[in-house]
Amino acid sequence: MEGSDTLEWENTSEIEIPRDPLSRVIGQDHAVKLARRAAHQRRHLLLVGPPGIGKSMIAQAISFDLPHPDHEVQVVHNPANPERPFIETLTREEVAQREERLAAGTGKLVKPQEVPLHAAEKLGIFCSRCESYSDASEMICNNCGAPKARQPKSDNPFQDLVGFLEISIGQMAGKAGQVRTTRTKADGTEEVVVYELAGDMVMVLDEKALSERREQDMARPRKVLMPIERRTFIMATGASETELLGDVRHDPYGGHPNIGTPAYDRVVAGAIHEAHEGVLFIDEVPHLGGLQRYILTAMQDRNFPISGRNPQSSGASVRVEDVPCDFILVAACNVNDLPAILSPLRSRILGSGYEVVLDTTMEDNPSNRSSIAQFIAQEVHQDGRIPHADRTAIDGIIVESITRARRIDNAPKAITLRLRDLGGLVRCAGDIAVAEGSETIDGSHVEKAKTISVPAEEQIRVRYGSFKEGMASDLTEAQKLTHPHHYWNENVNPPGYE
């Protein structure tokens, strides 16, 4: 059986890419099954295998299978001992209630039309050119097309794309979306008023409301450490100690009540905390070295203190106990690195999860050939710069995937699952198609790509006859005289270096 005579598609554009992220992982049925279980039952996972076969993909896909986080975590000022801030955990409901209370307790909600024009214009809900109202998230008046007043100035060439995002984040932080002005009271005196965007409405805060809000803030100063809306996938590959475990920033004034930054405000969450209720992904675990044991402790206790990790810093005297970090650990490594993983960490994973060795090939059968076609469709979709592949191109890539299974993994009648590299072939063929002005990738593009998309070692082998030959031929004259390329390998103690 050559090619794809059993395929039902003529072009990869006909292939529907599954919505479920784990269904996009090709050929790792066992690992995917355990990944689903890990998400459901909150189990840990160790994925073992060579690069480019879907380890990161699986880890990320698990996070999509998890429910949204249920808890927001805050650090709260401790008046009795500022260097020992508390942790407070709020449920999603409590977060919503708090927001309602804040809104109700302080200002007054009014319609945009009730706001003075100059304030409405600054808020970005009113266009003074055509005198119409529109949503603040629109950068340009949708009536007359003029840019709105509060459009931030920026050098970003992608401002058309990111502008909205910048503003909406700014609003959440309470920076943009707020106008401070004054108005004359009935008795003739002036007072400060703040107009604040609040959805479709505008919140008006007079002096009384402002001081109420300030009091509320002052009573129990706090900072949100892990907001309720947060990502459920945190990558901690190669993280430093502070990135992994959190830190307390330095304050040159040592947290002095008047001029310094209070301790609670300097607390920074680590990756293990950010992954609370989500996935903590660590690729190449052994590279974490000694930090592995902290992960172990965090997994055991499901909480881990945050303290200043630099002894020179004023943060070192600050410590927050019991910061929650209930994550699913997804760790990945190469087969060779397995012995370098801390054994109690592995026993933790095995005790409450699974270790899976991923496959490097899959059987050559019609269903798996279809999966390769699906893979091509996914790569085309993901890349976004190359056209879809026609039947002859799918055929060519399937043939190559069989050749690679035989050549790299010595597997007869199999299809390679080293799909990152195969994706490289798809992209290379796609680039050739684009360069030739073709609207689809066809077999001829794949044939050409096969000669280009080869590892450097292979290219050297072809050009020089053998890899060694190639290495020798590229030495400079000086190197040849003093240091042949294998010199340092073959002479453990070269003269002068004993």
Ligand X SMILES: Nc1ncnc2c1ncn2[C@@H]1O[C@H](COP(=O)(O)OP(=O)(O)O)[C@@H](O)[C@H]1O
Q: Given the complex with Mg ion, which of 56 and 106 has the nearer CB atom?
A: 56
Query: Which candidate, 19, 27, 16, 30, places its Cα nearest to that of 61?
Result: 19
CB of 24 to ligand X, least distance (A): 6
CB of 281 to Mg ion, least distance (A): 9
CB of 57 to Mg ion, least distance (A): 8
Could you give the C-alpha distances from 459 to 52, 173, 447, in angstroms and in order?
21, 54, 16
Q: Is 57 in the site for ligand X (CB under 6 A)?
A: yes
Q: Is 411 in the site for ligand X (CB under 6 A)?
A: no
Q: Is 56 in the site for Mg ion (CB under 5 A)?
A: yes
Q: Given the complex with Mg ion, which of 51 and 465 has the nearer CB atom?
A: 51
Q: How many CB atoms lie within 10 A of CB 128?
A: 14
Options 55-63, 206-214, 285-293, 335-343: segment touching ligand X (CB under 6 A): 55-63
The pattern of x and - marking residues 68 through 97 that bind ligand X according to CB under 6 A reads ------------------------------
Pick what 427 binds: Mg ion, ligand X, none; C-beta below 5 to 8 Å, kind-dependent: none
Instruction: Tally the residues of the chain.
Output: 498
Residues forming beta bridges with residue 268, ordered by sequence position: 247
Q: How far apart are CA 42 and CA 301, in angstroms?
A: 15
Options 45-53, 144-152, 180-188, 430-438: segment touching ligand X (CB under 6 A): 45-53
Pick what 375 binds: ligand X, Mg ion, none; C-beta below 5 to 8 Å, kind-dependent: ligand X
**Which tokens belong to 311?**
């002894």
Sign of the CA dihedral with 325 first, then 326, 328, and 334 last? positive
Comparing every residue's Cβ against Mg ion, the nearest one is 56
**Which tokens belong to 65?**
């299978």
Binding test (CB under 6 A) with ligand X, winner from 4, 9, 22, 25? 25
CB of 173 to ligand X, least distance (A): 33
Q: Is 238 in the site for ligand X (CB under 6 A)?
A: no
Binding test (CB under 6 A) with ligand X, winner from 202, 244, 341, 419? 419
Could you give the C-alpha distances from 376 to 175, 276, 388, 424, in angstroms and in order?
45, 35, 8, 11
Query: Which candidate, 241, 306, 302, places its Cα nearest to that of 75?
Result: 306
Residue type, 11: N
- Output the DSSP codes for 140-179: B-TTT-PBPTTPPP---TTHHHHHHHHHHHHHHTTSSSEE
- Per the CB < 8 A criterion, the answer to whether 292 and 331 are in contact is no
Q: How far apart are CA 403 and CA 57, in angstroms?
A: 24
Binding test (CB under 6 A) with ligand X, winner from 21, 52, 254, 344? 52
Q: Is 272 in the site for ligand X (CB under 6 A)?
A: no
Comparing every residue's Cβ against ligand X, the nearest one is 54
Q: What are phi and psi of 127, to 5 degrees?
A: -105, 115
- Helix (H) or strand (E) holding 207, with range, is helix 207-219
- Per the CB < 8 A criterion, the answer to whether 134 and 127 are in contact is yes
Binding test (CB under 6 A) with ligand X, winner from 4, 35, 45, 54? 54
Residue type, 208: K
Options 39-47, 54-62, 382-390, 397-405: segment touching Mg ion (CB under 5 A): 54-62
Q: Is 28 in the site for Mg ion (CB under 5 A)?
A: no
Q: Is 440 in the site for ligand X (CB under 6 A)?
A: no
Total residues contacting Mg ion by CB under 5 A comes to 1
Q: Given the complex with ligand X, which of 25 and 271 has the nearer CB atom?
A: 25
Q: Is 375 in the site for ligand X (CB under 6 A)?
A: yes
CB of 59 to ligand X, least distance (A): 8
Q: Is 60 in the site for Mg ion (CB under 5 A)?
A: no
Q: How far apart are CA 233 and CA 62, in angstroms?
A: 9
- Per the CB < 8 A criterion, the answer to whether 303 and 254 are in contact is no
CB of 423 to ligand X, least distance (A): 5
Q: Is 27 in the site for ligand X (CB under 6 A)?
A: yes
Q: How far apart are CA 68 and CA 52, in angstroms?
A: 29
Q: Is 420 in the site for ligand X (CB under 6 A)?
A: yes
Options 242-250, 401-409, 412-420, 452-460: segment touching ligand X (CB under 6 A): 412-420
Q: How far apart are CA 308 and CA 267, in angstroms?
A: 8
Give residues in contact with Mg ion (CB under 5 A). Answer: 56
Give residues in contact with ligand X (CB under 6 A). Answer: 24-28, 51-57, 375, 379, 417, 419-420, 423
